[in-house]
Amino acid sequence: MAVEVQEADQTPDVDLFFTKADCQDVVPHDNDPVVILVVTSGRRVHRVLVNQGSSDDVIFWSTFNKLQGSPDQLRPYTGCLYGFAGDPVEVRGHIKLRTTFTDGTASRTANIRYLVVNAPSTYNILLGRPALNRIGAIASTRHMKMKLPSLEGMVITIKSDEKEAKKCYENRLKTKRGVFAVTTQPPREEEVTRVEIARERRTEPAEDVLEKEIGGKRFKLGKSLGQETQDQIAKVIARHLDAFAWSASDMPDIDPNFLCHRLTMDP
């Protein structure tokens, strides 16, 4: 019986931190993720997403084929894997690949265990918590960089490819079904149905209503209210009719800094 032996952790104890200087070469962005380049199987692989929200490290089947990997190299995977939306993800197996991280000055190579996943994605590889913890890396989307220690104790600073990050993020929004994070824990039933319930259930009146015109506008009042109560409510509404907004023109001079909805799009 073959027993898989975990390699000893050789990550040196090095302080990793970000400063204002790390922001100087960052192009302003709308919450783009950190997307880097690594070398694995002797080839440069772009569009590698650094995602601390992923419980596993993933290489996608299309990328595995481009690296000329053979299915015979894969070891069976008996667990279950789920995407961000809770959908089951097909796992072809797992494999250890030597992966190199470098900033051109220093480098670090480690054997990363990847799950080979057959699913659509705008990324080639997902670097999840196992790999990040193994190499002692931390990433900052504010500084658009990932830092990790080399075995010699140097700090390796890998810049995010901001053009690729933006492109991948926009493509992910278009496809909507692409996998960008995985988890081994199945979603709880309430988490799966919460969105469906929110879509299906709309707020409805608790009782039958009648329409009443007040100040030239139509309001709905409960039929169970007595006539005297209805008249009292109508008087209050009439006194404060200017507090109701019926269109955007009824809300002038609102500071956009108070409430502003941003759309991620290229004008």
Domain edges within the chain? 20-193, 209-250
The DSSP annotation for the chain comes to: ---PPPPPP----------GGGGTTPPP-SSPPPEEEEEETTEEEEEEEE-TT-SS-EEEHHHHHHTT--GGGPBP--S--EETTS-B-EEEEEEEEEEEEE-SS-EEEEEEEEEEEES--S-SEEE-HHHHHHHT-EEETTTTEEEEE-TTSPEEEEE--HHHHHHHHHHHHHHS-----EESSPPPHHHHHHHHHHHH-----SS-EEEEEETTEEEEEETTS-HHHHHHHHHHHHHTGGG--SSGGGSTT--TTTS--------
Binning pLDDT at 50, 70 and 90, where does residue 263 land? low
What average pLDDT does this structure show over 4-21? 74
pLDDT score of 30:
73
Binning pLDDT at 50, 70 and 90, where does residue 199 land? very low
What average pLDDT does this structure show over 222-243? 86
**Out of 159-173, 209-223, 224-238, 247-261, which region has the weakest mean confidence (pLDDT)?**
247-261
pLDDT score of 197:
43
Any idea how long the chain is? 267
| 229 or 205: which leads in pLDDT | 229
Would you say residue 226 has pLDDT above 60?
A: yes
Binning pLDDT at 50, 70 and 90, where does residue 139 land? very high
pLDDT score of 58:
94
Would you say residue 70 has pLDDT above 60?
A: yes
What percentage of the chain has pLDDT greater than the value 90? 41
| 103 or 167: which leads in pLDDT | 103
Binning pLDDT at 50, 70 and 90, where does residue 259 land? low
Name the average pLDDT for the chain: 81
pLDDT score of 195:
44
pLDDT score of 262:
57
| 4 or 241: which leads in pLDDT | 241
Would you say residue 102 has pLDDT above 50?
A: yes
Q: Tell me which architecture the domain covering 20-193 has in CATH.
A: Beta Barrel (2.40)
Would you say residue 68 has pLDDT above 60?
A: yes
Q: How far apart are CA 36 and CA 143, in angstroms?
A: 13
Distance (Å) of CA 209 to CA 156, 203, 223, 244: 67, 14, 5, 20
pTM, two decimals, is 0.64
Binning pLDDT at 50, 70 and 90, where does residue 191 land? very low
The DSSP annotation for 49-103 comes to: EE-TT-SS-EEEHHHHHHTT--GGGPBP--S--EETTS-B-EEEEEEEEEEEEE-
Would you say residue 267 has pLDDT above 50?
A: no
What average pLDDT does this structure show over 224-230? 85
| 108 or 195: which leads in pLDDT | 108
What average pLDDT does this structure show over 133-162? 94
What percentage of the chain has pLDDT greater than the value 70? 78
pLDDT score of 157:
96
